[in-house]
Amino acid sequence: MNTIPISSWEGAEAYFTFADNSFAILGLLLLSVATFVFVIAKIYYHEKEAYDSIVQLYPSLEKGLEENHVTPVSQRVGISSFVEPMMPTQKANEL
């Protein structure tokens, strides 16, 4: 595959790979745009999967925390369910 548009630096201008091949440039550009769109779509589906799984697990997580005498998630404003509270977040709600 010949990617190089110049054979000498004498009089060279645009010298990037495929500079003399507009079809290749267009193809690479379309591929870049497609990759861009693919990544955003992938992020969307990854998020959906991750969030759906948490939504499904949520009732049992709440129950488990309650049984272990940890303040249930629904009663906390501030912090993650998987660490002990470090500030009185319930009080913050009552203020």
Partner 1 sequence: MEELTNQMELFGLHSMQAYYWWCIALMFAIHAGFLSYEIGVSRVKNVLAAAMKNVMTLAVIIPSFYFFGWWIYNAFPDGFIPRFDELSLAALPWSQNMGPNIMDNESGIFWGAFALFAATTGSILSGTLIERIRLSAFLVLATLLGSVLWILAGSWGWHGEGWLLTQLGYHDVGAAGVVHAVAGFFALGVLIHLGPRIGKYTAEGKPNRILPHNMPSALLGLMLIFVGFFGFLGGCIIFMTDGNWITIYGTPTNLSAFAFNALMGFAGGIMGCYIASKADPFWTVSGGLVGIISVGAGLDLYYPGLGFLIAFIGGLIAPKIGEFMEKKGLDDPVGAIVVHGVIGVYSVIAVGIFASGFPNVVGPDITFFGQLIGAIVMVAIGFIPGYVVAYVLKKMNALRIPEEVEKIGIDVAKFPGSPYPEGIPSTEDKVTLLERTSKKSS
DSSP assignment, residue 52? H
42 vs 50: CA distance, rounded Å: 12
Single residue of 3, 31, 43, 63 touching partner 1 by CB under 8 A? 43
Angle made by CA atoms 54, 57, 60, in degrees to the nearest 5: 145
Q: Which of 4, 44, 64, 88 binds partner 1 (CB under 8 A)?
A: 44
Contacts to partner 1 by CB under 8 A? 9, 12-16, 19, 22, 25-26, 29, 32-33, 36, 40-41, 43-44, 46-47, 50-51, 53-55, 58, 61, 73-74, 76-83, 86-87, 89, 92-93, 95
